[in-house]
A and B are shown apart, each in its own frame.
Chain A
Amino acid sequence: MTKNNQLADHYFRSLNRNIILIIIIVSVIPLILVSSTIYYQFRVAYHEKVYDHLRELVNSHSQNIDHFLQEKLSDIRFLSDICGRGKLEDEPFLQERLAALQKDFGRDFVDLGVINADGVQIAYAGPFKLARADYSDAEWFRKAIQSEYFISDVFLGLRGLPHFIIAVRNSREDGHWILRATIDFVRFTTLVENIRLGQTGFAFILNNKEKLQTTPMTRPSIDMIAGKTIYAEFLAKPSVSPSEVRIAVKSDSSQQENIYVAAFLKYGDWLLVYQQRAADAFADLGKTFKITTVLMFAGLLGIIMMAFTLSRQIVKRVTKADEEKQMMSKKVVEAGKLASVGELAAGIAHEINNPVAIMVEEAGWMGDLLEEEEFHESENLAEFVRAIEQIQTQGKRCKEITHKLLSFARQTDTTVQDIHIKELLEELVALSTQRAKYSMVEIQTDFPDDLPFLKESVSELQQVFFNLINNALDAMENDGGTLTISSRRKENYIIIKVSDTGKGIPEVNLGRIFDPFFTTKPVGKGTGLGLSICYGIIDKMGGKLEVESTVGTGTTFLVSIPIKENSDGLQIEM
């Protein structure tokens, strides 16, 4: 038995484990697959979107800046061509032109200067005192004098402030001369500074020697050196088309990924670089990742919890069903045993009946003989008569016992007959009188004569009432009491009431007493089938079997049996 239990225990544990595993595997794998696929696709698309956005941003700004420079160059060129050296050498005129330019373009132009072929500034208009300044050694002058127009890198120059120069060479009148304009560095820088995204996105311009052309002053903390190799890489490959934008992602010294977006400006001289922490650029993605992760873990947790609860419940039910099955099969075996005991009893009763009949007959014969004259003188005549009577009495008792045994072990006969309920009940009460006497139970009956006949099977009804009466007697076995059986007619039903004054049925059991195999009797004493069979029989007849019980007061069973149509009229005639 213990081995069996261990086996069952082991089985249920492995069942539990398997259910949990299956639930987890079946739910978790799709969850992870779906989540990661969606996240991955979203990530790719989002990256694409961010890159596109940055590319567009940088591209438009680089065009903007190019346009800005182009515009300034055209202005100066126009000025140089229209006015000519003679007019421009006149400083008040130059002042006037500067004022006009500043009026048109705000403070973009800082100053204007006319420089002769020797690098000497022959006229100057602007806030600095740079008249007659000699630029012959300045790098920008050397380059500017060799080409028609020139835009310099940012440098400090004579004034000691960062600025850059737009210079236009003109050679129409007596040799080369140059008209140059200084662009306000601060204003130029704002063009780039305006490119700002997120927390860490900023832009700047590098020349082809990786020198900053604008001040990324808003973010002095950004590690510029980390980008060095990237800038060098960008610069190493000259742009094919002016609108080409390059993107690179690289970790900086603090192990944080940065996105670098670059576009060439000024015919490849300058590089507009936009730089942003990847984490910042993809902040929304990061948030999504966090939410997805949290949701996924919540889902996982839910699945695991559900797996455990569900499997526990399933195993609990299976265990219960298993127990019930075992109990049931035990009881079925018991019931089967009981049935065969019943058959055996019937066989024995039948076999004993004949010898008993013979014995009673012989005793009767002896009684007959004792009436003869010759025995009348015998002194023991009275004793003989008494002994023979005793034999006959006991024989009759045997007969009663065997008849009862036979009557209840017999197979149920379902032949429908006309039944007078009074007779049937009186017969059963008579059978129970002896037992009631032993249990000190008083039986009270109330059977009116005028009840209509029932068209049912005698043996089935006998079985029902015999069961109910026996149960009532069982309930009062130890303390005695009163068993009341009454019958009456109510509408189209005959209602038979069997009440005892026994210990009553607790409420918890009340709902289960008609369940097959439900019994409160010790093992082997009751099959738990009695009431359920009764219920089945009465139900089949179209009637009702009801119970009312109060613990300590007693129990009442109400049997309602329908009176079949047309039975009334027929019975009265008979």
Chain B
Amino acid sequence: MTPPLVMLVDDEAPFVETMAKRLGKRDLNVILAFSGQEALEILDNQRNVDVVILDVKMPGMDGIETLKNMKSAYPLIEVVMLTAHATVESAIEGMRFGAFDYLMKPCDMEQLMGKVNEATRKKRDHEEKIREAHVKEILAKRGF
């Protein structure tokens, strides 16, 4: 399995940068985005992002808004919400809109890695199934 491609979205630059380094050290490919808008723009060119780690509380387009846009444009991408305690409710709301899970800041690295791997597996399984379905369809068309 190729290492998961993770996108980190948070307005707190130092937090994202350090987190990126730590994830990178754990053999993940990390892309950074500092706002919801930026994240959506990057996704336009980077179709193979597996997991997005999304902060709920951001200026401008907030986490929930970003999530909704992301899910409608790229339904297969898995999103892990990152939240402070005060916004747990919005994180739960986020899960209703299709987020994979949520974590509380500051988060435990092992926990985060676990969630990322889980989400990646889910996404790739999903993609596999779609591919298989495609293959079946093509085969059927060819008359096999």
Q: Do A407 and B85 touch (CB < 8 A)?
A: yes
Given contacts A361-B18, A395-B106, contact A368 B84 (CB under 8 A): no
Q: Do B25 and A406 touch (CB < 8 A)?
A: no
**Contact among A350, A357, A368 for B15, CB-based, below 8 A:** A357
**Contact among B12, B21, B89, B109 for A354, CB-based, below 8 A:** B12
Provide the bound-state CA to CA distance between A51 and B62, in Å: 110
Report chain A residues within 8 Å CB of B89. 413
Nearest-Cβ distance from residue A237 to partner chain B, whole angstroms: 116
Q: Do A365 and B18 touch (CB < 8 A)?
A: yes
| Total chain B interface residues with beta-carbon distance under 8 A | 17
Report chain B residues within 8 Å CB of A350. 84, 86
Provide the bound-state CA to CA distance between A396 and B109, in Å: 13
Q: Do B12 and A368 touch (CB < 8 A)?
A: no
The main secondary structure of chain B at its interface with chain A is helix
> 1/0 per residue B70-92: CB within 8 Å of A?
00000000000000111001000
Q: Do B106 and A368 touch (CB < 8 A)?
A: no
Nearest-Cβ distance from residue B75 to partner chain A, whole angstroms: 27
Q: Do A353 and B105 touch (CB < 8 A)?
A: yes
Q: Do A358 and B86 touch (CB < 8 A)?
A: no
Q: Do A406 and B12 touch (CB < 8 A)?
A: no
Q: Do B106 and A356 touch (CB < 8 A)?
A: yes
Q: Do B15 and A358 touch (CB < 8 A)?
A: yes
Q: Do A410 and B86 touch (CB < 8 A)?
A: yes
Q: Do B84 and A353 touch (CB < 8 A)?
A: yes
Q: Which of B82-128 contact A (CB under 8 A)?
A: 84-86, 89, 104-107, 109
Provide the bound-state CA to CA distance between A394 and B21, in Å: 22
> 1/0 per residue B1-41: CB within 8 Å of A?
00000000000101100110110010000000000000000
Report chain B residues within 8 Å CB of A17. none
Report chain A residues within 8 Å CB of B14. 358, 362
Q: Do A354 and B84 touch (CB < 8 A)?
A: yes
The main secondary structure of chain A at its interface with chain B is helix
| Total chain A interface residues with beta-carbon distance under 8 A | 23
Q: Do B22 and A368 touch (CB < 8 A)?
A: yes
Provide the bound-state CA to CA distance between A538 and B107, in Å: 36
Report chain A residues within 8 Å CB of B86. 346, 349-350, 406-407, 410
Nearest-Cβ distance from residue B34 to partner chain A, whole angstroms: 14
> 1/0 per residue A323-367: CB within 8 Å of B?
000000000000000000000001001100110111011101100
Q: Which of A364-390 contact B (CB under 8 A)?
A: 364-365, 368
Report chain A residues within 8 Å CB of B85. 353, 402-403, 406-407
Q: Which of A98-118 contact B (CB under 8 A)?
A: none
Tell me if A77 counts as interface (CB < 8 A to partner B). Answer: no
Point out which of B12, B19, B25, B84 has the most chain A C-beta atoms below 10 A from its C-beta: B84
Provide the bound-state CA to CA distance between A368 and B14, in Å: 17
Report chain B residues within 8 Å CB of A358. 12, 14-15, 18, 106
Given contacts A368-B22, A368-B25, contact A361 B84 (CB under 8 A): no
Name A346's closest neighbour in chain B (CB-CB). B86
Report chain A residues within 8 Å CB of B19. 361
Nearest-Cβ distance from residue B46 to partner chain A, whole angstroms: 24
Name B26's closest neighbour in chain A (CB-CB). A368
Report chain B residues within 8 Å CB of A349. 86
Given contacts A346-B86, A402-B85, contact A361 B25 (CB under 8 A): no
Provide the bound-state CA to CA distance between A346 and B86, in Å: 9
Name A402's closest neighbour in chain B (CB-CB). B85
Q: Do A360 and B106 touch (CB < 8 A)?
A: yes
Provide the bound-state CA to CA distance between A349 and B14, in Å: 19
Q: Do A364 and B105 touch (CB < 8 A)?
A: no
Provide the bound-state CA to CA distance between A368 and B18, in Å: 11
Provide the bound-state CA to CA distance between A399 and B83, in Å: 12
Provide the bound-state CA to CA distance between A395 and B14, in Å: 16
Q: Do B25 and A354 touch (CB < 8 A)?
A: no
Nearest-Cβ distance from residue A334 to partner chain B, whole angstroms: 25
Provide the bound-state CA to CA distance between A533 and B105, in Å: 32
Nearest-Cβ distance from residue B10 to partner chain A, whole angstroms: 9
> 1/0 per residue A413-424: CB within 8 Å of B?
100000000000
Report chain B residues within 8 Å CB of A360. 106
Name B14's closest neighbour in chain A (CB-CB). A358
Nearest-Cβ distance from residue B92 to partner chain A, whole angstroms: 10
Report chain B residues within 8 Å CB of A410. 86
Provide the bound-state CA to CA distance between A399 and B18, in Å: 18
Report chain B residues within 8 Å CB of A395. 106
Q: Do A354 and B105 touch (CB < 8 A)?
A: yes
Provide the bound-state CA to CA distance between A349 and B22, in Å: 26
Q: Do A399 and B106 touch (CB < 8 A)?
A: yes
Q: Do A365 and B22 touch (CB < 8 A)?
A: yes
Q: Which of A541-558 contact B (CB under 8 A)?
A: none
Provide the bound-state CA to CA distance between A362 and B19, in Å: 8
Name A369's closest neighbour in chain B (CB-CB). B25
A/B interface sample: 5 pairs, CB < 8 A: A357-B15, A358-B18, A358-B106, A364-B18, A368-B22
Chain A interface (Cβ < 8 Å from any Cβ of B): 346, 349-350, 353-354, 356-358, 360-362, 364-365, 368, 395-396, 399, 402-403, 406-407, 410, 413
9 closest A-B pairs by CB? A357-B106, A403-B85, A360-B106, A406-B86, A361-B18, A357-B105, A358-B15, A353-B84, A406-B85
Q: Add 20 more A-B contacts to A364-B18, A403-B104, A406-B86 (CB < 8 A).
A: A346-B86, A349-B86, A350-B84, A350-B86, A353-B84, A354-B12, A357-B12, A357-B105, A357-B106, A361-B19, A361-B22, A361-B106, A364-B109, A365-B22, A368-B25, A395-B106, A396-B106, A399-B104, A399-B105, A406-B84
